[in-house]
């Protein structure tokens, strides 16, 4: 069964460092998303991406964040200069069309020290 895969499963980084979280969406999907879940809090939307551009982004998704689809299969989230409060589980998701089921990856746990 097709699935969304994320790497790494866990990343520890020092404050101020850049991190890139990687995702491989399901191959025929057209919409891509990043969400995050800070420990003990709800899952929060970060950004959606369609047709090689951002469709929508939340207030969380500031200039420190960027997304890219560098080739036909990967979808990445970059945090330029990590802060302690960026520590969270980051989920990638994809869907075949708008407002259809979003398939989620298993997440990357980012720990900023």
Partner 1 sequence: AQSVTQLGSHVSVSEGALVLLRCNYSSSVPPYLFWYVQYPNQGLQLLLKYTSAATLVKGINGFEAEFKKSETSFHLTKPSAHMSDAAEYFCAVTLRGNQGGKLIFGQGTELSVKP
- Sites of contact with partner 1 (CB under 8 A): 4, 31, 33, 35, 41-45, 48, 55-58, 91, 93, 95, 98-99, 101-107
Q: DSSP letter string over 41-93? A: S-EEEEEEEETTEEEEE-TT--TTEEEE--SSS-EEEEESS--GGG-EEEEEE
Spacing of C-alpha 73 from chain mean position? 14
Six-digit token string for 39: 């420990």
- Measured from the CB atom, the residue of 75 and 91 that comes closer to partner 1 is 91
Taking the complex as a whole, the smallest distance from the CB of residue 73 to partner 1 amounts, in Å, to 18
**φ/ψ of residue 58, rounded to 5:** -90, 175
- Measured from the CB atom, the residue of 13 and 50 that comes closer to partner 1 is 50
Taking the complex as a whole, the smallest distance from the CB of residue 52 to partner 1 amounts, in Å, to 15
DSSP reduced 3-state for 2: coil
- Measured from the CB atom, the residue of 50 and 78 that comes closer to partner 1 is 50
- Measured from the CB atom, the residue of 56 and 68 that comes closer to partner 1 is 56
Taking the complex as a whole, the smallest distance from the CB of residue 102 to partner 1 amounts, in Å, to 6
């Amino acid at each position: 069964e097709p699935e969304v895969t994320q790497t790494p499963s866990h990343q520890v980084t020092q404050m101020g460092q850049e991190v890139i979280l990687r995702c491989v969406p399901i191959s025929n999907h057209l919409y891509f998303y990043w969400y995050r879940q800070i420990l003990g809090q709800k899952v929060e939307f970060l950004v959606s991406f369609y047709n090689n551009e951002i469709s929508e982004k939340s207030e969380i998704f500031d200039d420190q964040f960027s997304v890219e689809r560098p080739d036909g299969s990967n979808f990445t989230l970059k945090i330029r200069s990590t802060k302690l409060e960026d520590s969270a589980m980051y989920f990638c998701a994809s869907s075949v069309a708008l407002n259809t089921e979003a398939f989620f990856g298993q997440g990357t746990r980012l720990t900023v020290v």
